[in-house]
Amino acid sequence: MQKSSTHNKTTQSDKSTDRSNFDKQALEFHQMGRPGKIEVVSTKPCNTEKALALAYSPGVAVPCKVIAKNPDAVYDYTTKGNLVAVISDGTAVLGLGNIGPLASKPVMEGKGILFKNFAGIDVFDIEVKSSSAAEFIAAVRTLEPTFGGINLEDIKAPECFEIEETLKKEMNIPVFHDDQHGTAIVSGAALINACQIVGKKLSEVKLVVNGAGASAIACTKLIVSLGVKKENVIMCDTTGVIFKGRTNGMNKYKEEFANNTTKRTLSEALEGADVFLGLSAAGAVTGDMVKTMAKDPIIFAMANPDPEITPDAARAARADAIVATGRSDYPNQVNNVLGFPSIFRGALDTRATQINEEMKLAAVHALAKLAREEVPDTVSASYGGQKFKFGRDYLIPKPFDTRVLMWVAPAVAKAAMDTGVARVKIDDWNKYHERLEAIQGPQKVFIRSVINQVHANSERQGALPRVVFPEGASSKILKSIRALIDEKICSPIVIGNPDTIREKAKKHNVDMDGIEILNIQGHAKFHQYAEELYKRRQRKGVNIKEAERLMNDPSYFASMMIDQGDADGMVNGATTNYADAVKPILHTIGLAKDHVPAGLNILISDNRFLFLSDTTVNFNPTAEQLAQIAIQTAIVAEHFGQKPRIAMLSFSNFSGENGTPAKMRKAAEIVRQIRPDLVVEGDMQADTAVNSEIQNRIFPFSQLGGEANVLIFPNLESANISYKLLQQLGKVEVIGPFLMGVRRAANVLQRTTTEETIFSSVVLTALEAQIIKDRRQVKH
C-alpha cells in the first residue's frame, strides 16, 4: 500500500510539473514581442503627404459629410460592415468563473483571432466594468454606431439571458451570445446526424440534459425547435432533476423545462434515455449510468476541459454508443468555431438587423448537410491524410474544413433575406461565393496540415522521425525542440556538451524530458564515421587525421549520422554561417542522382503560395542547372497540392537575345524537353509572372495561363535579395530556406531565424524524412 501511495504522489507531482511548464509557455506566448494577440493594421497606404491628406484632414471630411446625409454610406466608407465587438463583463470566463473584465481580456482577444482567421471579420474586444445587467446593457447599447454586430461572451446566467434579450430588442444590429447559441448550433447539427445514423426520429427521442446554465438552456431550446418534444426532455442541475413544483435553486429559465416526472437524480433520468446532453462537469456520468440508456445511445459529453464521461469509458459500457465531446483529441468535437464566424459573416454581408432563430437553424442544417457530403482530400490533408466519412465518428465537419464558411455563411444570409431582417440582398450567389473564397487563404492551415501529415505518417511508420540538431546549445533551438516534442513532430537529438546544454536549458526554462543529448567525445561510432569520411574525401585532400578533426565538428557528425541511417533528418544554421552549414551536408550526404543543390523558400500570403529558387546555393547557375532546379521546385509544389506554373525570371519580357534573358529562355526550353507536362514560361519580368492581367493585356501569347507560383531566379543575388525583402516588407510568411537536391532530409536555417521559423522548418524536414523513408522502402 505504501508503494502505491508513493507512486500516486509521483504521478501527481509529474502532472503538477507539466501544468507548471504549460503555464509558463502560455505566459511567454502572450508576452513575447508585442504583448497580447491582436493589432490594428491600416488597409490603406499612408506613406506620402497626399495619402495623409486623404486619410485624415482635410480628405476625411468628405466621407463624413456623405455619411451625415446618407447613414447607410457608413458601410461604403468605413469598417462598420466588417467589424464586430466581442464584449464581456468577465463574470463567467471559461471554467474560471467570475474573474472580472480585466482578467477576461486574453479570452476576448483570442475570440477576435478566431473571427479573423475563420471568416475574415475584424474585431475590437471590449471589457465592461459594470455592477448590474442594466448598467452593462446601457454601455453596450451606445456602441451601435461603431459596429456591424455584437458578440456577447462569458457573461454569467441568468443575467446573460436578460442582457441578450434586451439588447436584441433595443439595437438594430445583430446581438449574439455565443456561449448560448454557438454550442447549441453545433450540437444541434451533430444530433440531427446522430439520429439519422441510428434511425431515430427527433420527435420520439427522450433527452436528458445535465446542466442548466446559459449553454444548456440555449441548447435545449434549439433542440426543441428542431423537433424534440419538450415533454420528452428532463433537465438536471447540481441539485438534481428539474421537475414541476421544485422551488430550490429555480429561476424562470429553468422553470421552462420543469417536467412532470418522479425521477429525481441524473442516474434515474438516464434510464431508457436516447440522448444525453452534458454541459456540466467532468465525471458526472458513469459507465453504469450509460448501460441503462436506450439502444444506440447518443452521448454528447461537452464539459470542458474534461467531459462528463470519456468516449472510451462510454463505449466500454455500451459499444453501440455514439459519442461527442468538446475536445479535439476525440472524434466529433463540438467546437463553436464551426458556428459563430460563419454566422456573423452571413449576418454582416446582408447587414442583418439581428440573428434570429431561422438564421440559427439555417446554420444547424448547413453544418449537418455538409457533414454528409464526401470529404475532399484537401480536408484530409489538413488532418494528416486521415480519411473522414459520414458516420458514428464523423457527425459534424472538422474545424479546419474551409467549406464550413462556404456552406454556413450563405445559408445564414439567405435565411436573413427570407425572414426580412436583411437590409442588403445578395443577388448573385456565385459572386458571393467568390468573395467568401477570397477569405480562405492557405496560410492559416498550411503548417497545421503538414503537422497532421507528419502525425499520420509517424503512426503508419511506427515511429517519429529522428531529427538531429548540431547546435545543441542554442537557446532558440532548445525552445523550438520543446514545442516540437509537445506537437509530437520528431524525436530530437541535440549534439554538444551535456553540461553546457543542460545549463542553457535550465537558464531558459526548457524541459529536457524527451530530448536526447549526444556527446561526440567518446561516441561509439566516432572512428567509424571518420573512416567513412576519409574514404569519400581522400582524393580531395582529406587524410584520416583531417577526417577525425572534421568529425569533431557537430555539423559533420550530424551529417554522417543521417548518411549512415542513425538519424532521419537534420536542421542546422541557427548559429552557423549558411555556407559552413551546407558544406558538411554536401561532403557527406551528397546529392541525389541528376539533382542540383539549391535553396527553396516558400512564401505564403493570404491567397497564394510562391516557391522561390535558388535562394541560397548557386551563385550563377547555368541554364541546365536552372532547368533542373525548376523541375525540383515543381515537384515540391505538386506535393503541396499546387499546380506548378514556372516563370524563368529576368529583366526583360520575351525580348532578350543575350546574357541573362537568353539563359532564362534556354532554361525554359530545357524544362519543356525534360518535363513537357509542366507549364513553364520565360524569360519574363517578375511583375508579369505574378500578374495575370499584365499577361493577358500585353502578352496574350504567354503559356502560363495564370499567375506563376514557381519563380526561378537567374542568380543567387536576385533570389536571395528578393525573398529577404519580401520577408521583411511584404505581408507574407516566408518558410525556409530548404535545401533541395540532397539524398536525405537536411536543411539549413538562416542565422536570423526565429523559434517559429525553426519550428516550421523542422516540421517540413520531418515530413521530408518520412517521404524519403517511404521511397527507400519501396525500392528495397
Q: Which residues are catalytic?
A: 56, 111
Cα-flanking dihedrals φ and ψ of residue 712, to 5°?
-105, 120
Q: Is the peptide bond before 442 cis (omega within 30 degrees of 0)?
A: no
Work out the number of other CB atoms within 10 angstroms of the CB of residue 12.
10
Residue 735 DSSP SS3? strand
Q: Are strands 609-613 and 598-604 parallel, antiparallel or unpaired?
A: antiparallel
CB contact at 8 A, 722 and 713: yes
CA distance 48 to 116: 29
Q: Residue 541: which region, alpha, beta or left (left: phi > 0; alpha: psi -120 to 50)?
A: left
- What the block records as the C-alpha cell of 768 is 521530408
CA distance 67 to 73: 5
List all residues 6 or more positions away from 371 whose beta carbon is below 8 Å from its beta carbon.
189, 193, 390, 394, 395, 396, 397
150, 174 Cβ separation under 8 angstroms: yes
Determine if the peptide bond prior to 18 is cis (ω within 30°): no
Q: Which helix (H) or strand (E) holds 333?
A: none
Give the closest residue to 120 by CA, choosing from 156, 92, 148: 148
> In terms of Cα–Cα distance, which of 456, 289, 317, 314 is closest to 382?
456
Backbone angles phi, psi at 391, to 5 degrees: 170, -165
Determine if the peptide bond prior to 307 is cis (ω within 30°). Answer: no
d(CA 111, CA 410): 22
Residue 78, CA atoms < 13 Å, CB-side half-sphere = 19
φ, ψ of residue 240 to 5 degrees: the values are 135, -150
**Bridge pairing between strands 240-241 and 233-237:** antiparallel
At position 270, the amino acid (one-letter code) is L
Question: Residue 497 has which C-alpha cell?
Answer: 556538451
The C-alpha cell at 224 is: 426543441
Q: Which three cell numbers stand for residue 173?
A: 444590429
From the centroid of its chain, how far is CA 463? 24
640/643 Cα distance (integer angstroms): 9
CA distance 669 to 663: 10
CA angle 665–668–669, rounded 5-degree value: 90
Output the nine-digit C-alpha cell for 672: 519543356
Name the DSSP letter for residue 97.
B
Angle between helices 357-371 and 340-349 (to 10 degrees): 120
Peptide bond into 158 cis (omega under 30): yes
- Report the candidate in 414, 114, 364 with the shortest Cα–Cα distance to residue 218: 364
**Grid cell of 637 as nine digits:** 509544389
8 Å CB contact between 333 and 394: no
The set of residues, in sequence order, having a beta carbon less than 8 Å from that of 508 and lying 6+ positions away, is 475, 478, 479
User: Which residue in this structure is represented by grid cell 526565429?
Assistant: 754
* Separation CA 198–CA 505 (nearest Å): 53
Of 351, 407, 532, residue with least CA distance to 118: 407
Report the candidate in 310, 402, 493 with the shortest Cα–Cα distance to residue 117: 402
